[in-house]
């Protein structure tokens, strides 16, 4: 694929992203303002007297309606568009199988999170912002720990890497840099996509090197080592811990703003309180607006961390051209926009544009 194809793909992706954002806001306003949320809340009250079951039933209704409405956009973005640009290898049946797994994981994770959220609102109506912040950070840590051992194998076929030379090379790099990894694993993305990825995922005893089969097929050992060096840079610089702390601070600010602003919409919507599930769309709308306003700062911090990890990779491997070639291959395989509009990068990119990273790496020699 050429740069022209990458730009075309990116432009469509940007329009799709903006359409989804606008559609999400309109959906929340309509679901709340036209009385659908009140109707759903009244319905679940007739089904059970157990509060957490009422919450679960309401979320099931809300989630189903949301999924059905946005399905055409989702289908176009994850199936039609990916096939149009030669990125997806899934059949229709394969797409629905993968989609079912993603929906199941999302339902379980978000269902548990929101049940916890509403339990905190009911049990600690005056101090919920503190407990919700602690809970959010705790859940983030748990998900980071179980992702490589439970969630990833459920979604994708995962197996230990068999290339002994590559294993030795990667684990020796981890050991030399003082980052313990419990092994290197192959992740079967190739049955679904041509896109490639690599990660050093997990925390503590669950940390492991993850390499997609698409990466292993196209990259040399030196290039894979340089990509891992970048990931090790995040761990050595404690970026995960720093992002958790930043997330905790940001979450507390967001929750505090919600607690302040909710006095207006709770009264206007005639809710019994913030814990009233009938006000769920208004709550999501407030969280979405706050998250969108904070997104540029969050992404700016993330891009700074990525630059730091890039510099670390070059300094450790002392092979800037190899690292630049690895970045170039990743950009080509994933159809990354080589030159995104400045405002798009500022607003939505948590990594610097791939062309900038390649130029800086090549100049490091």
* pLDDT tens-digit map of 306-317: 999 999 999 999
Are the CB atoms for 63 and 107 separated by under 8 Å?
yes
Consecutive H or E run containing 29: helix 3-33
The pLDDT score that the predictor gives to residue 309 is 96
Tens of pLDDT, residues 255-268: 999 999 998 999 99
To the nearest 5 percent, what fractions of the chain are helix, strand and coil? 75, 5, 20
The pLDDT score that the predictor gives to residue 206 is 80
Is residue 2 pLDDT above 70, yes or no?
Answer: no
Q: Any idea what DSSP says for residue 212?
A: E
Per-residue pLDDT, averaged over 45-66, amounts to 95
Task: Give the count of beta carbons closer than 10 Å to the beta carbon of residue 82.
Answer: 21
Q: Is 358 helix (H, G, I), strand (E, B) or coil?
A: helix
With cut-offs at 50, 70 and 90, classify the pLDDT of residue 182: confident
Task: Give the count of beta carbons closer than 10 Å to the beta carbon of residue 138.
Answer: 11
Beta strand 158-160 pairing with 184-187:
antiparallel
With cut-offs at 50, 70 and 90, classify the pLDDT of residue 180: confident
Residues facing residue 209 across a β-bridge: 184, 200
Tokens 């179980």 label which residue? 146
Cα 310 from Cα 318, distance rounded (Å): 12
With cut-offs at 50, 70 and 90, classify the pLDDT of residue 346: very high
Is residue 3 pLDDT above 80, yes or no?
Answer: no
Per-residue pLDDT, averaged over 93-122, amounts to 95
Tens of pLDDT, residues 76-88: 999 999 999 999 9
Taking each continuous run of H as one helix and of E as one strand, the counts in the chain are 15, 4
| Average pLDDT value for the chain | 93
Tokens 């702390």 label which residue? 245
Are the CB atoms for 281 and 66 separated by under 8 Å?
no
The pLDDT score that the predictor gives to residue 333 is 92
- Give alpha helix (H) positions in 192-279: 213-218, 221-236, 239-268
Is residue 220 pLDDT above 80, yes or no?
Answer: yes
The pLDDT score that the predictor gives to residue 341 is 92
Q: Any idea what DSSP says for residue 210?
A: E
Q: Which of 257, 344, 261 is nearest to 295 (CA)?
A: 344
The pLDDT score that the predictor gives to residue 150 is 86
Q: Is 101 helix (H, G, I), strand (E, B) or coil?
A: helix
The pLDDT score that the predictor gives to residue 179 is 87
Tens of pLDDT, residues 142-153: 888 888 888 888
Is residue 105 pLDDT above 90, yes or no?
Answer: yes
Give the pair of three-digit tokens for residue 216: 């292993």
The pLDDT score that the predictor gives to residue 249 is 95
Tokens 């999400």 label which residue? 24
């Amino acid at each position: 694929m050429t740069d022209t194809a990458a730009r075309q793909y990116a432009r469509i992706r940007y329009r799709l992203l903006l359409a989804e954002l606008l559609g999400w806001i309109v959906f929340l306003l309509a679901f709340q303002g036209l009385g659908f949320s009140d109707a759903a809340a009244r319905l679940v009250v007739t089904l059970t007297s157990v509060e957490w079951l009422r919450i679960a039933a309401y979320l099931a209704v809300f989630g189903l309606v949301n999924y059905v409405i946005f399905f055409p956009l989702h289908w176009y973005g994850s199936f039609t568009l990916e096939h149009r640009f030669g990125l997806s290898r899934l059949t229709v049946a394969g797409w629905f199988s993968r989609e079912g797994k993603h929906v199941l994981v999302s339902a379980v994770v978000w269902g548990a999170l929101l049940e916890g959220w509403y339990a905190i609102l009911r049990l600690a109506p005056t101090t919920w912002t503190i407990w919700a912040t602690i809970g959010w950070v705790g859940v983030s840590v748990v998900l980071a720990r179980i992702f490589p051992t439970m969630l990833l194998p459920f979604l994708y076929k995962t197996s230990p890497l068999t290339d002994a030379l590559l294993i030795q090379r990667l684990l020796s790099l981890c050991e030399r840099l003082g980052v313990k990894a419990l092994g290197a694993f192959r992740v079967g993305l190739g049955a679904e996509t041509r896109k490639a990825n690599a990660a050093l995922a997990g925390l503590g005893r669950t940390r492991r090197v993850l390499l997609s089969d698409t990466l292993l097929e196209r990259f040399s050992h030196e290039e894979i080592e340089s990509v891992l060096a970048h990931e090790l840079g995040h761990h050595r610089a404690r970026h995960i811990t720093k992002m958790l702390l930043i997330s905790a601070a940001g979450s507390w600010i967001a929750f505090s703003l919600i607690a302040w602003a909710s006095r207006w919409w709770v009264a206007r919507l005639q809710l019994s309180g913030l814990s009233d599930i009938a006000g769920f769309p208004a709550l999501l709308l407030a969280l979405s607006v706050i998250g969108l306003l904070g997104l540029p700062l969050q992404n700016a911090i993330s891009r700074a961390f990525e630059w730091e990890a890039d510099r670390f990779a070059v300094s450790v491997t002392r092979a800037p051209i190899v690292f630049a070639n690895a970045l170039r291959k990743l950009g080509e395989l994933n159809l990354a926009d080589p030159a995104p509009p400045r405002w798009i990068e500022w607003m939505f990119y948590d990594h610097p544009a791939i062309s900038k990273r390649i130029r800086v790496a090549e100049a490091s020699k």
